[in-house]
């Protein structure tokens, strides 16, 4: 047996025996649960999550490495206590004859530690990773949340701080933020609510849009995520997409029927900058108080009074045509400071 395996087994054994007189009595909201230990198959061995009532929370692997003492971080401690409360609500699903062994191939094992006994329940590995539905989805989701918050620390992001994910983040939100479209689909299939919001009012679709995760946005929209949901600041997914500079995401959200009641100038600027980085030409126009519907409607001759968008677009196209003719004839191209830059034409928060 290798040294990493010996260390891993020693830590795991210590955790499984932790409820035997060494842990404080569980609190009232989970009086029968002193801790949960989860064995997850990975890389020919196991990853083990330990979540105890005194917020001793760790994740370590049988091949060496891991995170010990993550419960000292607020967000991890909060996720740990939520896991223990959910485990309390599922007491009847645990057997009463846990010998502390690892699960069989293709299974994930939850060990429930109480002051007087130890129980366990297995779930399919596919269900744990969101590829198949399962009756213990709440327990699975709670364990995933502890892992997610711990990974924020591993990635150099202090859990619970401004650099990490806010309070109330679900595994679906975390998967959307990371761009893991397969897990997003799996969590949706299991029944995780796409309308759930974190402490700031952000949905999974907002997380995906803000992070520029086009495939995750597509999966969420195809499964019915609300493109018009608003956070506490009244920002919608399309605003997050524009702020992140993702033209593809903005296009998908508009195609999905995203309402544009308020076009924020900063979003136009973000989108314009993204277009410039992608190598075309762009001019920016801000029409105060005008939404996308009016901008497009003004393209019709009888509605030109709604906004000067038709005149601006035709003028833009004319200038580009003239510039192309001049360059083709050997004249120098128009310099950047002349008001024409790289990208497409951006008007009032949309692109044409």
* Domain co-membership, 4 together with 139: yes
What is the mean pLDDT of the segment spanning 208-235? 89
How far is Cα 233 from Cα 132, in angstroms, rounded to an integer? 35
* Domain co-membership, 295 together with 329: yes
**pLDDT exceeds cutoff 60 at 333:** no
**Residue-averaged pLDDT of the chain:** 78
Q: Which of 205, 237, 259 is the last residue of a domain?
A: 259
Dihedral angle computed from the Cα positions of residues 158, 163, 167 and 169, in that order, rounded to the nearest 10 degrees: -110
Give the 3-state secondary structure of 174-224: HHHHHCCHHHHHHHHHHCCCCCCCCCCCCCHHHHHHHCCCHHHHHHHHHCC
Q: What is the pLDDT of residue 264?
A: 57
How far is Cα 238 from Cα 200, in angstroms, rounded to an integer? 17
Q: Which of 130, 161, 192 is the last residue of a domain?
A: 161
**Structure-token pair, residue 150:** 């711990």
Q: Which sign, positive or negative, has the C-alpha torsion 139, 146, 118, 43?
A: positive
Strands (E), the chain: 35-42, 45-52, 57-61, 66-67, 107-113, 118-124, 284-285, 346-347, 350-351
Its domain, for residue 205, covers 165-259
* Domain co-membership, 97 together with 177: no
pTM over 0.75: no
* Domain co-membership, 65 together with 142: yes
Q: Which of 161, 189, 221 is the last residue of a domain?
A: 161
- Do 281 and 344 touch, CB atoms closer than 8 A? yes
Domains: count for the chain: 3
* Domain co-membership, 85 together with 215: no
What is the mean pLDDT of the segment spanning 108-112? 97
pLDDT in tens, 25-76: 899 999 999 999 999 998 778 999 999 998 889 998 888 778 888 888 888 8
pLDDT in tens, 277-319: 777 678 777 776 676 667 767 776 666 777 787 888 878 777 7
pLDDT in tens, 176-199: 888 888 888 878 877 788 999 988
């Amino acid at each position: 047996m290798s040294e990493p395996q010996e260390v891993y087994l020693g830590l795991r054994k210590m955790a499984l025996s932790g409820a035997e007189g060494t842990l404080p009595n569980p609190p009232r909201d989970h009086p029968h649960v002193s801790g949960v230990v989860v064995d997850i198959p990975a890389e020919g061995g196991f990853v083990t999550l330990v979540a105890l009532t005194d917020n001793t929370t760790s994740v370590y692997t049988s091949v060496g490495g891991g995170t010990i003492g993550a419960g000292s971080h607020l967000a991890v401690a909060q996720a740990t206590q939520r896991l223990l409360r959910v485990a309390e609500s599922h007491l009847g699903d645990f057997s009463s004859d846990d010998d502390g062994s690892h699960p069989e191939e293709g299974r994930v094992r939850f060990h429930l530690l109480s002051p007087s006994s130890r129980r366990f329940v297995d779930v399919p590995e596919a269900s744990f990773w969101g590829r198949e539905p399962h009756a213990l989805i709440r327990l699975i989701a709670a364990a995933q949340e502890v892992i997610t918050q711990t990974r924020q620390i591993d990635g150099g992001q202090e859990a619970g701080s401004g650099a990490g994910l806010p309070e109330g983040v679900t595994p679906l939100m975390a998967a959307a933020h990371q761009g893991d479209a397969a897990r997003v689909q799996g969590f949706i299939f299991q029944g995780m609510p796409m309308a759930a919001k974190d402490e700031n009012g952000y949905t999974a679709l907002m997380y995906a849009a803000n992070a520029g995760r086009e495939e995750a946005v597509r999966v969420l929209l195809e499964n019915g995520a609300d493109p018009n949901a608003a956070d506490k600041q009244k920002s919608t997914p399309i605003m997050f997409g524009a702020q992140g500079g993702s033209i593809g995401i903005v296009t998908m959200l508009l195609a999905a029927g995203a309402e544009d009641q308020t076009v924020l100038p900063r979003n136009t600027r973000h989108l314009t900058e993204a277009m410039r980085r992608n190598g075309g030409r762009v001019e920016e126009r801000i029409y105060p108080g005008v939404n996308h519907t009016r901008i497009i409607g003004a393209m019709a001759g009888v509605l030109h009074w709604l906004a000067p968008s038709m005149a601006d677009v035709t003028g833009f196209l004319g200038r580009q045509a003239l510039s192309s003719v001049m360059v083709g004839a050997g004249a120098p191209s128009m310099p950047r400071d002349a008001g024409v830059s790289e990208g497409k034409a951006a008007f009032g928060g949309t692109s044409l």
